[in-house]
Amino acid sequence: MRDMIAETVCVGTEILLGNIVNTNAAYLAGEYAKLGLLSYAQTVVGDNEERIMETVRTALTRSDLVVISGGLGPTQDDITKETVARLLGREMRLDEVSRKRIEAFFDKRGRKMTENNLRQAMIPLGARVLDNDNGTAPGILIELTPEESARFQKEKRGLQAVVLLPGPPEELTEMWEQKVVPYLQQRTGDVIYSAMVKVCGRSESEVAEILDDLIRQSGDVTVAPYAKTGEVHMRVTARAEDEKSAKKLVKPVVKEIKTRLGDSVYTTHEETTLEKAVVDLLLANGLTVTTVESCTGGLIAGRLINVQGVSEVYKSGFVTYSNKAKRKLAGVKKKTLDKYGAVSEQTAREMVNGATLFNRADVGVSVTGIAGPDGGTEEKPVGLVYIAVSVCGVVTVREYHFSGNRAKIRSHTVAAALDQMRRCILKYYSKLTFGKEE
Amino acid sequence: MRDMIAETVCVGTEILLGNIVNTNAAYLAGEYAKLGLLSYAQTVVGDNEERIMETVRTALTRSDLVVISGGLGPTQDDITKETVARLLGREMRLDEVSRKRIEAFFDKRGRKMTENNLRQAMIPLGARVLDNDNGTAPGILIELTPEESARFQKEKRGLQAVVLLPGPPEELTEMWEQKVVPYLQQRTGDVIYSAMVKVCGRSESEVAEILDDLIRQSGDVTVAPYAKTGEVHMRVTARAEDEKSAKKLVKPVVKEIKTRLGDSVYTTHEETTLEKAVVDLLLANGLTVTTVESCTGGLIAGRLINVQGVSEVYKSGFVTYSNKAKRKLAGVKKKTLDKYGAVSEQTAREMVNGATLFNRADVGVSVTGIAGPDGGTEEKPVGLVYIAVSVCGVVTVREYHFSGNRAKIRSHTVAAALDQMRRCILKYYSKLTFGKEE
């Protein structure tokens, strides 16, 4: 099948004012990649008829699927729908189903629907309505007639479609997943299957080098790396006639990545975060965990407690920012602090031992470091961090050197601590909780 | 002076793949607003000569300042500079100063400069070089000649300029601030002065209603609200012939906002975050602080410890996720937990009392709530949170109802806790530490 080209147009003055970061464009771009669609451009325009029209016109000259977000609301500023209808020369009509849905939305909240909101039920002739389960503005999908397409495209490329989605991210993402993806899959006939391989404890360039041939190969399977703080995510995508064939293409590539990267791969599940991988490993092995943090000051605990159901494994932890707190709460010896300093292997070790003892936890993690911008010396520069992990009394301490500002050093430390916990637990316990295939 | 129109073009396949969120575009949009420049469009294109050329050509037909980010690196994919030079019909020449700077950059790191990197020192004829203090790729500023402009613009609008900035955000922002902003200020002759007013504990719609007339007014002073989690930031901007006149326009508007919003205004300083406002208040009054967190699990401590110099006020804190931890670490009575439950006003109160006693802190904050998605009941639904703040033994407990997913409920809780701390300290201590004018 010919490659389909998708293009995003975001309508919203608030993006042009720098008021919000354009996460919708990034989300849709990732979705195109996942579905194997090509994409060459993204545009942001304000709520201005002339500019919206010009931008959508340009997009239609070069793309098969034009996804427009924003400007479907009830106010006078919201003109996306009318503008697109005018560009295509289609009339607007009242959609009875949408009208009833909007009325019901207001009824449920005990509010009265205003005339303005009725505008949201107006739909271009011949368009499909995409019901909005999270708000009042319905989405719209318009397949262009061959005559309409011919006005934009010099050479005939095939079926073109314009999709209008509401601007609020939670409404946009759900409508995309529930309504647009099934349409695209049905329309292309092909099935796209993709798997995610998530890696931690390796740099992006290291991963890119190890997987160079896989990333560069062009064919039925593509491998695309995405860098995150302390992590690299790899999306493996294949397109085939049916799901079974697509999966069959993806599987050996995922296996090869896992073979090459070993236990740096922490999951092959889309929704599993690094903290969830750690919590799952603790749960699977019946282990409890505690934290005692200095420069990260609660952020490791904060990440672990992101995970739903963490109460089974996480009971309590300490933030010990001062030397006194390290002594009093974690039982670090005065002699140790005097001789080696607060930022030292020895202090990290005593912190984790004290915290696991006091909190009666099987696993513990301690962090002590210099996040800066002050406090660095020649011998102990800003970015020096010691992380100790105890697994049932066996303590592993590692020294790290991070760079960047205070916030960056702290977030890299949190990722490194989670990775170190993972590796230490894996060393002594089950390896069976990661990378399980469906 | 005529309004200047600015437009951003981001070059980068990684943005089109959804690999990264386009923070450069959002940063530049905010900067335009700050400088009083208008902006009607943003575009993202991949590293493709034809598409870059077409996009920049379109931008030059409608904008006075075109800022292009990305594609200045040493690889074959990096073609922004050559493409723009070709579009303008300008030759490339080697810039000796840039060559030496790039060589020095490599020398300093003990690495040898490759031929590729020399490409970064090639500059379009007649362009100004913007030195890069954080990387190897210099930025470029080209003022178009009247003849060049005439090729793009139907009607003569005045001086046009194209600015090329490196893609890495830390390089882009510093070059923008250090090199481009002074150029723009000098060029327009006008001075733009803006002040930031940051508000917490009020919703965006509440703030918009209270300041409706100020936000709607069009004139020499503009007020633009930006919503953040639990906060609203307002930028007040004025343009005038000199800084003194611009400040004179801004000052009464800032004062009026402060009068209307009272102590919901936590700062009028650009760099001051909510956690810094709290830490400053503690420092100014010689108070120490502790935290004891259940559903936020360390995130409040994590925010406070963001602040450089926090060691004067923050010594230690607890994460008490289980009931047992609430009893053992914070001294909550078993009777209290049995009778009122872990998520209750009474438990929050005992948590904060126990934590301030044990940690010998003047101020304490405790949080207990249901972040979901499980654990909610009819009586105590997901999103119910109790926050207690103790200031030298005087405890204030507040009940909150947040909505959204687990992450959203937790981040709103953190913002609310910081705001409640601020208000409680202000109630008993100095009000003189916020909103001070220079």
Indicate whether A401 belongs to any domain. yes
Query: Model confidence over A249-284: pLDDT tens digits?
Result: 999 999 999 999 999 999 999 889 999 999 999 999
- The closest of A15, A148, A11 to A81, measured between CA atoms, is A11
pLDDT tens track for B40-95: 999 999 989 999 999 999 999 999 999 999 999 887 788 999 999 999 999 999 99
Measured between beta carbons, the chain B residues lying within 8 angstroms of A234 are none
How high is the pLDDT of residue B188? 76
Question: Could you tell me the pLDDT band of residue A188, with boundaries at 50, 70 and 90?
Answer: confident
Burial (0-12, 13-18, 19+ Cβ within 10 Å), A282: buried
Q: Is the pLDDT of residue B19 over 80?
A: no
B240 pLDDT band, cuts 50/70/90, is confident
User: For residues A235 and A227, what is the distance between their CA atoms, to the nearest angstrom?
Assistant: 11
Contact of B98 with chain A, judged by CB distance below 8 Å, is answered with no
Shortest alpha-carbon distance between residue A256 and chain B (Å):
22
Residue B434 lies in a domain: no
User: Does residue A245 belong to any structural domain of this protein?
Assistant: yes
A297 pLDDT band, cuts 50/70/90, is: very high
Give the DSSP H/E element, type plus range, for residue B319. strand B316-320
For B422, phi then psi, to 5°, come to: -55, -50
Indicate if A153 and A86 belong to the same structural domain.
yes
| pLDDT tier for residue A175 given thresholds of 50, 70 and 90 | very high
Tokens 């295509």 sit at which residue? A88
Residue A190 has pLDDT above 80, yes or no: no
Which residue is it, tokens 């007649």? B126
Residue B438 predicted with pLDDT over 50 = no
Residue-level pLDDT at B431: 58
Q: Closest chain A residue to B305 measured between Cα atoms?
A: A297
Give the pLDDT mean for A307-319: 96
Using a CB-CB cut-off of 8 Å, the residues of chain A touching B315 are: 321-322, 324-325
Residue among B288, B292, B342 at smallest CA distance from B311: B288
Q: Is A317 an 8 Å CB contact of chain B?
A: yes
Q: Is residue B436 part of a domain?
A: no
- The tens digit of pLDDT for each residue in A420-429 reads 999 999 998 8
Statement to judge: residues A122 and A58 lie in one domain? yes
**Side chain identity, residue B197:** V
Residue B53 shares a structural domain with residue B115: yes
Last residue of a domain, one of B168, B188, B208: B188
The distance of A220 to chain B (nearest Cα, Å) reads 18
Work out the average pLDDT over B428-438: 55
- Name beta bridge partners: A337: none
pLDDT band (50, 70, 90) for residue B119: confident
The answer to whether the CB atoms of A319 and B316 lie below 8 A apart is: yes
What is the residue-wise DSSP string for B1-40?
-PPPBEEEEEE-HHHHTTSS--HHHHHHHHHHHHHT-B--
Mean pLDDT of chain B: 91
Which residues touch A336 (CB under 8 Å, ≥6 apart)? A344, A346, A347, A350
**Residue B89 falls within a domain, yes or no?**
yes
Q: Among residues of chain A, what percentage have pLDDT more than 90?
A: 69
Residue that wins the pLDDT comparison between A227 and A25: A25
A29 to chain B: which residues are within 8 Å by CB?
A: 15-19
Q: How far is A94 from chain B (nearest CA, A)?
A: 30
* In a domain? residue A434: no
B300 and B236 in a single domain? The answer is: no
> Percent of chain B beyond pLDDT 90?
69
pLDDT in tens, B128-151: 999 998 888 899 999 999 999 999
Phi, psi torsion values for A279, nearest 5 degrees: -65, -40
- Residues B263 and B296 occupy one common structural domain: no
Chain B nearest CA to A18, separation (Å)? 4
Q: Choosing among A8, A15, A16, which should be mutated to test the B contact, i.e. which has the most B CBs within 10 A? A: A16
ipTM: 0.80
CATH number of the CATH domain containing A302:
3.90.950.20
Same structural domain, A404 and A343: yes
Asked whether the beta carbons of residue B302 and residue A306 sit closer than 8 angstroms, the reply is no
B206 and B108 inside one domain: no
pLDDT band for A438, please (50, 70, 90 cuts).
very low
> B15 with B125, same domain?
yes
Q: Is B176 exposed, middle or buried (0-12, 13-18, 19+ CB in 10 A)?
A: buried
pLDDT-wise least confident of A46-50, B317-321, B398-402: A46-50
The total number of structural domains that make up chain B: 3
> Which residue range(s) make up the domain with B226?
191-267
Q: Are residues A154 and A196 in the same domain?
A: no
Measuring CA to CA, how many Å separate A81 from each of A127, A161, A162, B42? 11, 14, 11, 21
Decide which of B267, B287, B307 is a domain's last residue: B267
So what's the pLDDT on residue A2?
Answer: 61
Q: What is the pLDDT of residue A436?
A: 43
Of A1-5, A384-388, B319-323, which gets the smallest average pLDDT?
A1-5
- Inside any domain, residue A436: no
What pLDDT score does A343 carry? 98
Q: Are residues B255 and B300 in the same domain?
A: no
* C-alpha to C-alpha distance for A71 and A55, rounded to whole angstroms: 14
**CATH value at residue B120:** 3.40.980.10
pLDDT of the residue at A433: 46
For A66, half-sphere exposure in the C-beta direction (CA atoms, 13 angstrom radius) is 27
Contacts of A139 (CB under 8 A, 6+ apart): A72, A129, A130, A131, A132, A163, A164, A165, A166, A175, A179, A180
Provide the pLDDT confidence category of residue A144 given band limits of 50, 70 and 90: very high
* Residues B332 and B392 occupy one common structural domain: yes
Q: Which of A98-102, B110-114, B274-278 has the highest mean pLDDT?
A: B274-278
pLDDT band for B365, please (50, 70, 90 cuts): very high
How much is the pLDDT for B2?
61
Q: Please report whether residue B433 resides in a domain.
A: no
Contact A163, A141 (CB under 8 A): yes
Q: What is the pLDDT of residues B375-385, one digit of tens each?
A: 999 999 999 99
Query: pLDDT tens across A381-434, in order?
Result: 999 999 999 999 999 999 999 988 899 899 999 999 999 999 999 998 865 444
pLDDT value at B435 more than 50: no
CATH number for B227: 3.30.70.2860
**Domain end point (choices B143, B166, B188):** B188
Q: Is the pLDDT of residue B157 over 70?
A: yes
Give A-chain residues touching B20 at CB under 8 angstroms.
26, 226-227
Element (DSSP H or E) covering residue B69: strand B65-69
Of A226, A321, A407, the CB nearest to B315: A321
Q: Are B93 and B116 members of one domain?
A: yes
Confidence of residue A226 (pLDDT cuts 50, 70, 90): confident
